């Protein structure tokens, strides 16, 4: 069988993206304890994804009432007080929500969440282990309660955690509307 490639393109294209960060009050002890339980559970994703460390199941916090309260507060803030407010006309639906723990030597490989309209992260502790968005030249340093919302198509990664501190975070993806969720 003869196979020929007729065309192959490798190029960069411009695309619209957003990035927003801030702080929120959060009960970090509750969520760190839940992450520890989730990474010990057989459904964990430890070292199975781009997170080269510890990770709960993808849907671990989807039904968690404490997380839902925080998520809704974040959405309200973005919906009414940010330049993204027009993007919220059709509403948002939480798609996935998981916890991560990266100890010394752990990292996250470069990736994106292109199947989601937006993604987000909420840090549960202070640690010198930046999340890097090289397309935007941004390094997000984890601080307790610090969060970022960003376009799902933005590449991001971490280098290896060189500190003796564990990094804990909650990460989530969203659809833009209930109609997307039903598909």
- pLDDT tens for 163-179 read 999 999 999 998 654 34
- Dihedral of alpha carbons 173, 114, 131, 35, sign: positive
What pLDDT shows up at residue 94? 83
Domains located in the chain, CATH noted: 19-165 (2.60.120.620)
Using the predicted structure, report yes or no on whether residue 32 has a pLDDT greater than 90. Answer: yes
Q: How many CB atoms lie within 10 A of CB 145?
A: 16
pTM > 0.85: yes or no: yes
106-162 per-position pLDDT tens digit:
999 999 998 888 899 999 999 999 999 999 999 999 999 999 989 889 999 999 999
């Amino acid at each position: 069988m003869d196979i020929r490639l007729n065309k192959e393109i490798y190029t960069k294209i411009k695309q619209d993206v957003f990035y927003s960060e801030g702080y929120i009050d959060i009960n970090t002890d509750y969520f760190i304890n839940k992450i520890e339980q989730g990474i010990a559970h057989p459904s964990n994703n430890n070292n199975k994804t781009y997170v080269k460390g510890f990770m709960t199941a993808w849907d671990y916090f989807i039904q968690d009432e404490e997380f839902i309260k925080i998520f809704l507060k974040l959405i309200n803030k973005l919906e009414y007080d940010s330049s993204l407010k027009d993007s919220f006309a059709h509403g948002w639906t939480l798609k996935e929500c998981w916890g991560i723990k990266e100890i010394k030597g752990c990292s996250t490989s470069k990736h994106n969440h292109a199947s989601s309209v937006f993604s987000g992260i909420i840090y549960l502790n202070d640690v010198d282990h930046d999340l890097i968005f090289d397309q935007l030249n941004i390094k997000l340093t984890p601080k307790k309660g610090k969060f970022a919302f960003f376009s799902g198509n933005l590449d991001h990664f971490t280098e290896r955690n060189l500190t003796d501190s564990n990094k804990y975070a909650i990460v989530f993806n969203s659809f833009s509307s209930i109609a997307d969720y039903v598909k």
